[in-house]
Structure 1
Amino acid sequence: PALHRRAGTYSQELNNNLTGGGYYAQVTVGTPPQTVDLVVDTGSSDVWILDSRADLCRSKTMQNYYGYCLSTYDPSKSSTYSIVSQDEFSIRYVDGSGAEGDYIRDTFSIGGADIEHLQMGLAENSTINSGLLGIGFAANVAALTPYPNIMNLFQDQDLIDIQAYSLYLDDLYAETGTILFGGLDTQKFIGKLKTVDIEPDRTGNYSSFTVALSSLTTTADNGTVTNYTRSVVPVILDSGTTLTYVPYTMANRIYRAFGAVDDTSGTGLVYINCEHLDNKNFTFDFQFGGKDGPVIRVPIDEMVLDNVKAYIELGLEVPSLPFDNICSFGLQGSSDYYLLGDTFLRSAYVVYDLTNKEIGLAQANLNSTESEIVEI
């Protein structure tokens, strides 16, 4: 019989980029290892890195618009680099940003796991100033010819037993979160971890972490519950998205209740009075998979964001508003895709199980300093 290494768990620290949004994993690529910072994205399935010669990394004009290249990779300096297909890597994200270049293979290390011959995009052209760690289903890779992605290789190379990982972002002001491949940490959540099924796409394939949001309610300080849902909404749990996007009809009902002002067509923000932050125990309650399913309570200070003053200093011109104490709302409306991004995910402990096609959800135990890791 083939001898298999015993599968383990791999814990990778994530850095919370408060100003730009997103959570970064510091990984290494190549031989000798080159350090690269990648945005952790459960909403896509390709790992890609910026070439040191990418257009964005050389053009001052582009950098003024998209930001400086955070970290890059030089293929000529890696003895394990090989090219898979030239000019065949091309990816676009829902916000219109994207990258293109070659598909390559190289050694990739994350959280103490060394993955050999990982196929990655190497971006020559990019409107994003860092690479991405796409950890979704392989069915969703950007390539015309599907290939085994990082989650496949984690399992194929006997690093983990099943394709699964846990995500713990911690709260808005925490400097770091954690992604744990192959395991979960029982100290990082409160109560019972409940599972919900991942829903297949229209063709019957599993290509995204879509689950059924059965209700979205709010609970006020005095205990009053308000329901904003009329029907079940399919939502994608997407760490690569900063905010939370729900159907316009639902968003508009919430805006009216909070006196929020939708300026997404102008500055891209929804403005809300910071005074809502005074209601310390107010929560947004997301329930999944029906009335016995998991409930995640998101506190008001994770949904009402006191970041507008900083944006104004960076040159944001705010429209005239009916309130002076201006915050932005971490929830927006959308007509075509519904995403629960970081403003939701910070309050949850989420187990993404690609093998069993289910998501485990529990209330996050914020600022937990203890750890008790079990294999999945």
Structure 2
Amino acid sequence: MRFLSALATASIASIAVATDNTNSPKVIPVSFGRSTNRQPALHRRAGTYSQELNNNLTGGGYYAQVTVGTPPQTVDLVVDTGSSDVWILDSRANLCRSKTMQNYYGYCLSTYDPSKSSTYSIVSQDEFSIRYVDGSGAEGDYIRDTFSIGGADIKKLQMGLAENSTINSGLLGIGFAANVASRTPYPNIMSLFEDQDLIAIQAYSLYLDDLYAETGTILFGGLDTQKFIGKLKIVDIEPDRTGNYSSFTVPLSSLTTTADNGTITNYTRSTVSVILDSGTTLTYVPYTMANRIFRAFGAVDDTSGTGLVYINCEHLDNKNFTFDFQFGGNDGPIIQVPIDEMVLDNVKQYIELGLDVPSLPFDNVCSFGLQGSSDYYLLGDTFLRSAYVVYDLTNKKIGLAQANLNSTESKIVEITKSGIPDASGVASQVIATQTAGSGNSSSGTSSDTPGSETSEGASSRVVPAPSWEVLVMVSMASLSGLMGAGLVML
């Protein structure tokens, strides 16, 4: 049983701020924005260069538009911090030719034709094979070709070329090279960013913005002090069981909630190692923790049936209620996730499209952006939209701060060989008003004064009801695919 959510083709503009001047900062800004195009496809799941990302509201995917080959072919890829391979769909892939598969997995969003590229070369036939925790995957050849993102040209990047796939778009895996799917290790995109002197070290920052934002940004080689609040605090990345670094695992020391009246409830009994994974839609914590939260909120766990946890939409009336995630101990960073990022008003639309919701003790039905797990503990997009995250692969560090949502200003700082800088963002949250589907329009101001370590106003934004224009089709089966294809099965 699976959930198949609608995917939309990205409409993306990349902005390059790096120049050929060797003295200029090496930062590659890549923007992403939510598409408003209707797309009948179904999708299973979920210097500084800047790349724009496309926010797929219903499925949680964030898409970067890149080019591959010579002459360049445009391809839209899911940005995934939970895996390490870049792979693209072959124009002759089974999914792209089979109507039966398309009815189940969705139409291919964008593909690559190796016969049309003069710089294409094959590395190894039939050796690319990748599987994700939601059961989806792809297989084919490993190839090399020119890869361009955010104005940066990466020469001879090794990529998977999927000839067989149950995913209708490729992925941009930007994790540790040690986590590539190949049996033979190879330098992945983050390695080549550094090796080809495009960025100083293997580091980038991720700003997803809020659930209804049109745009967000990933900065390869830099960070933006206008996109976060207060002090950027550093947490060590934890090694895996073999002592290697293969995922962005950090210690979650506490998960509490803060109610409108200031009441704080702690749901953590011990530190939990969690993975920061942009390729995962929801947030997954241990069952024991999740069940305590479900009881407190009167939520109904139907993940074994429809794949959703149901919760009363009335919780959205608690405008200042937050879920507070603290990392690395009592002095570590705290990220406050507003109630409207965790309680998702999407079930009514699913019902209209045929979802058979079980009998529930409440009529105003929403879905919960947090679920229990026994295998992987993942902080996906329902968490990451509230955080500004800096990933330093070279020094094995993560920088975290409260995201300054709906920010329209930018002040980019290069991440040099010394690692994540001691940086402070704005003093408080921008107060912004949005019209769903029309982009961001700030109706307030944010202080440019750095140094404040408060995260006041984490939920002090005016956000309307979601626009469901991008919600196209949902299968009448399970919604288990919300986990997303982000984390690779080892």
TM > 0.5 fold call: yes
Aligned counterpart in structure 2 of residue 308 of structure 1, from 336, 342, 347: 347
- Three-state SS of the structure 1 residue aligned to 2:405 is coil
After superposition, the C-alpha distances for 1:170-206 in whole angstroms (9 at most, x for unaligned) are: 0000022111000000000000000000000111100
**Aligned pair in 2 of structure 1 residues 6, 277: CA closer, same or farther (>3 Å)?**
closer
CA contact under 8 A between 1:7 and 1:160: conserved in structure 2?
no
CA contact under 8 A between 2:154 and 2:196: conserved in structure 1?
yes
Post-superposition offset of 1:19 = 1.9
**Aligned pair in 2 of structure 1 residues 53, 317: CA closer, same or farther (>3 Å)?**
same
Quick one: distance in 1 between partners of 2:232 and 2:99?
Answer: 48
Quick one: distance in 1 between partners of 2:277 and 2:341?
Answer: 16
CA contact under 8 A between 2:88 and 2:111: conserved in structure 1?
yes
After superposition, the C-alpha distances for 1:289-344 in whole angstroms (9 at most, x for unaligned) are: 00000000000000000011121222211111111111000000000110000000
Q: TM-score scaled by structure 2?
A: 0.75
Question: What's 2:386 paired with?
Answer: 347
After superposition, the C-alpha distances for 1:136-155 in whole angstroms (9 at most, x for unaligned) are: 00000000011000000000
CA contact under 8 A between 1:107 and 1:116: conserved in structure 2?
yes
Quick one: distance in 1 between partners of 2:165 and 2:323?
Answer: 36
**Aligned pair in 2 of structure 1 residues 79, 6: CA closer, same or farther (>3 Å)?**
farther
Runs of 4+ in structure 1 deviating by more than 4 angstroms, as ranges, are 1-7
**Aligned pair in 2 of structure 1 residues 3, 301: CA closer, same or farther (>3 Å)?**
closer
Alignment of 1:99-118 (within 5 A): 99-118=138-157
Q: TM-score scaled by structure 1?
A: 0.97
CA contact under 8 A between 2:43 and 2:167: conserved in structure 1?
no
RMSD, matched Cα:
6.3
CA contact under 8 A between 2:54 and 2:62: conserved in structure 1?
yes
Quick one: distance in 2 between partners of 1:89 and 1:48?
Answer: 9
**Aligned pair in 2 of structure 1 residues 107, 19: CA closer, same or farther (>3 Å)?**
same
CA contact under 8 A between 2:128 and 2:140: conserved in structure 1?
yes
Question: What's 1:19 paired with?
Answer: 58
Quick one: distance in 1 between partners of 2:250 and 2:306?
Answer: 30
- Three-state SS of the structure 1 residue aligned to 2:42 is coil
CA contact under 8 A between 2:277 and 2:378: conserved in structure 1?
yes
Quick one: distance in 1 between partners of 2:57 and 2:97?
Answer: 26
Quick one: distance in 1 between partners of 2:184 and 2:120?
Answer: 20
**Aligned pair in 2 of structure 1 residues 4, 171: CA closer, same or farther (>3 Å)?**
closer
CA contact under 8 A between 1:273 and 1:324: conserved in structure 2?
yes
Aligned counterpart in structure 1 of residue 251 of structure 2, from 209, 212, 215: 212
After superposition, the C-alpha distances for 1:320-370 in whole angstroms (9 at most, x for unaligned) are: 111111100000000011000000000000000000100000000000000
After superposition, the C-alpha distances for 1:244-285 in whole angstroms (9 at most, x for unaligned) are: 000000000000000000000000000000000000000000
CA contact under 8 A between 1:247 and 1:335: conserved in structure 2?
yes
CA contact under 8 A between 2:42 and 2:106: conserved in structure 1?
no
CA contact under 8 A between 1:215 and 1:228: conserved in structure 2?
yes
- Three-state SS of the structure 2 residue aligned to 1:63 is helix
CA contact under 8 A between 2:43 and 2:106: conserved in structure 1?
no
Matched, 1:50 2:50: no
Post-superposition offset of 1:7 = 33
> Which structure 2 segments of 5+ residues have no match?
1-39, 415-489
**Aligned pair in 2 of structure 1 residues 109, 5: CA closer, same or farther (>3 Å)?**
farther
- How many residues matched? 376
**Aligned pair in 2 of structure 1 residues 7, 324: CA closer, same or farther (>3 Å)?**
closer
CA contact under 8 A between 1:272 and 1:327: conserved in structure 2?
yes
Quick one: distance in 2 between partners of 1:348 and 1:4?
Answer: 26
**Aligned pair in 2 of structure 1 residues 356, 261: CA closer, same or farther (>3 Å)?**
same
Post-superposition offset of 1:286 = 0.1
Quick one: distance in 1 between partners of 2:152 and 2:355?
Answer: 42
CA contact under 8 A between 1:7 and 1:161: conserved in structure 2?
no
- Three-state SS of the structure 2 residue aligned to 1:344 is helix
**Which segment drifts farther, 2-11 or 145-154?**
2-11
Alignment of 1:360-371 (within 5 A): 360-371=399-410
> Which structure 1 segments of 5+ residues have no match?
none
**Aligned pair in 2 of structure 1 residues 241, 7: CA closer, same or farther (>3 Å)?**
closer
> What is the percentage of aligned positions where both structures have the same residue?
94
Post-superposition offset of 1:20 = 2.2
